[in-house]
Structure 1
Amino acid sequence: MTKHINYSILDLAVVGQDISHSQVFKNTVDLAQQGEKLGYKRLWLAEHHNMVSIASSATTVLMSHVAAKTDSIRIGSGGIMLPNHSPLIVAEQFGTLGSLYPDRIDMGLGRAPGTDQVTAHAIRSDRMNSVFKFPHEIDEIQRYFKNSSKSTKVRATVAEGVNVPMYILGSSTDSAHVAAEKGLPYVFASHFAPGQLFEAMEIYYREFQPSAYLEKPYTIAGINVTAAETNEEAEKLSTSSLRMMVGVLTGNLDYLQQPVEMDAELREVRDNPALQRMLKYSFVGDKQHIKNKTEEFLKDTGVDEVIVASHIYHQEDRLRSYRIFSEVMQEINS
């Protein structure tokens, strides 16, 4: 590699079968603390709703809890689904976080619902109007942070002057235009929607306009990693996330299940074309295999940072996977 590549953690506070929410939150804190020691730049939490397998729905609350239990790793949203929220409230929440944990909070914003349409309507019945106003609501949040005039009628006083970097998230090409026009970092969800990754990145680089926030483009892309001491062990661990992904595709959402031996039926499911397209950047194997796939991904994409999701049932196995990946990235960056 010709440049240093940052590496980060994406956590959904995934809920395993027979694991309580309180234990899930303890596991997230544990992961952040270990990630801090292993050189991960940031840990982001994703907003999802009405999913039994995901507990990061109150995203900013969990962010504050994790930030309080760590010292240096950046804590952020990957992301807050802006159409679900008032821009004023988002500014107030992140302004508060930015003052509580100076220079450690990231604001990642997306426009997907983070849930099904019925639940999205329950969250905010007029959210579709907000979807179309996404670029304008980004401007609105930025104004709340920049405002210094006491005469402004509506203010987010806890956000004014606070340093909270903003990131634009996307899983298609739409947000690439927005991030480029506004001169903001761009994060692509290639860990579950890789189809338009290269087209979106090309748009972002071509249309990027330097801003007060960013002089040149900065890109982050997501991958899934299940790393273990052997390829066989990693394959077994990956059956938990494989079955969870099948549930997402079929609408039969369930808790993350304990791993099982990879049998012929599961291999047939894994090799389904739809699932293969979805899991194009899901790397499963030992350290050398993960390194080979990661180097290929970084070479092909040219991204500045990679953010890693690892949906592994047992906490000790998950921590080991992140440890192995940190070793991979340290070798790549050496």
Structure 2
Amino acid sequence: MTATHKKIPYSILELAGVSSNTTIEQTFKNSLDLAQKAETFGYNRFWLAEHHNMISIASSATAILIGHIAGGTKSIRVGSGGIMLPNHSPLIVSEQFGTLGNLYPGRIDLGLGRAPGTDQETAHAIRSDRMKSVFKFPEEVRQIQQYFSTENRISKVRATVAEGVAVPIYILGSSTDSAHLAAKQGLPYAFASHFAPGQLHEALNIYYNQFQPSKYLKEPYTIGCINVIAADTDQEAERLSTTMIRMMLGVLTNQMDYMQPPIKMTQELKQISQDPTFQRMMKYAFVGSKSTVEQQTSQFLQDTGVNELMVACYVYDHEDRVESYRIFSDIMKEKQLVSL
């Protein structure tokens, strides 16, 4: 592979994280403020995740939040990272995103995944027959494509607000199963390497090798997700990362809590962050000063060759989080080393 310099689009994955001193209302205001600033920083997309029954994450009504963000911004693309399709009817998803596509033409993305975005008990409460849809995921993706097509005008079941509306579909995944599907259907592919990096390289190889051009996409297009906490110094970034460490510990131990204020790095937190399970989950968490994060990001781009970066940031204070995204945008505006 030959190394070369080129500009890589960079985007944001927003979970609407709820800090311990912040209301849900303020959390949504912070998300919009971040999106507005991200627009000025040069970010390409602002995607919102779908999660349920998690005290520290407020992005549960994803389509509504997408409308909130799109209505408060001017040019940045806004979408789902993603809609967990087995939780929903393909017809309703098509109507929701067809509506969004009409309200904000050329700015809406529809990322689709098959995971529940929650625990199994909550998943059952969302949709008791969701496992049937899990196995029908490829078919339900095609149903959405059909609802968005102009050919569907002759069908008995129509999503009239979606027909002919340009809302690109992205396949999201954290395993190799999604890679096969994205490749076969000729769709762009986003991998959740920010929390499930284990099969990243195998999934990318499958996608690149099996990709079949389609009317939606002529060549493979990949998005790699990473965590970034950037600050003026490595020490300050490490301090800010204590919020993320404690949040992820809550995920691993099923003891979720609001995001907690950062504290001085302790020996106990260092041991947690160096635990093999934590390391596997947070392999692509880049924490440090601008130069430190730049080196880690460049290495990730060389190793993966992805077309675009999607960045998550678990930081307690809103202004600190905005600053982290600003620093990362400065990195990406400069030259990057990537592998082709």
TM-score by length of 1: 0.99
Kept in 1: contact 2:152–2:163 (CA 8 A): no
Three-state SS of the structure 1 residue aligned to 2:5 is coil
Q: Tell me the residue number matched to 1:53.
A: 56
Q: Aligned with 1:25: secondary structure?
A: helix
* Amino-acid identity (%): 64
- Counterpart in 2 of 1:111? 114
Question: What is the CA-CA distance between 1:151 and the residue it aligns to?
Answer: 3.4
1:333 shift after superposition: 4.9
TM-superposed deviation, 1:147:
3.4
Deviation at 1:18, TM superposition (A): 2.0
Query: Pairwise CA RMSD of aligned residues?
Result: 0.9
Structure 1 residue aligned with 2:295: 292
Among 37, 41, 48, the residue aligned to 2:44: 41
| Distance in 2 (alpha carbons) for counterparts of 1:97 and 1:46 | 16
Give the partner amino acid of 2:332: M
What residue in structure 2 maps to residue 213 of structure 1? 216
Q: Which amino acid aligns with 1:45?
A: L
**Residue 137 of structure 2 aligns with which residue?**
134
Could you tell me whether the CA contact under 8 Å between 2:188 and 2:220 is conserved in 1? Answer: yes
CA distance in 2, matches of 1:244, 1:303: 28
Distance (Å, rounded) in 1 between the aligned partners of 2:94 and 2:159: 6
**Residue 30 (structure 2) aligns with:** 27
AA at the equivalent of 2:150: N
CA distance in 2, matches of 1:73, 1:174: 30
The answer to whether the 8 A contact 1:295-1:332 is kept is: no
User: What does 1:1-334 align with in structure 2 at a 5 Å threshold?
Assistant: 1-148=4-151, 150-333=153-336
> d(CA) in 1 for partners of 2:79 and 2:236?
31
Moved segments of 4+, more than 4 Å: none
Whether the 8 Å contact between 2:147 and 2:158 is mirrored in structure 1 is yes
Deviations 1:98-119 (A, max 9, x none): 0000000000000000000000
**Equivalent position SS for 2:91:** helix
Q: C-alpha separation between the residues in 1 aligned to 2:211 and 2:152?
A: 30
Deviations 1:303-332 (A, max 9, x none): 000000001000110000000000000112
Separation in 2 of the partners of 1:139 and 1:213? Answer: 12
What's the offset of the Cα at 1:274?
0.5
Q: Aligned letter for 2:199? A: Q
TM-score normalised according to structure 2 size: 0.97
- 5+ unaligned residues in a row in structure 2: which ranges? none
Cα deviation per residue 1:103-148 (whole Å; 9 max; x = unaligned)?
0000000000000000000000000000000000000000000034
* 1:227–1:139 Cα change, 3 Å: same
Structure 2 distance, partners of 1:332, 1:242, is: 30
| Counterpart secondary structure, 2:154 | coil
Q: Partner of 1:79: helix, strand, or coil?
A: strand
Find the aligned partners of 2:254 and 2:155 in 1 and give their Cα distance.
47
- Gaps of at least 5 residues in structure 1 are none
Provide the C-alpha distance between the structure 1 equivalents of 2:175 and 2:261, rounded to a whole number of angstroms: 32
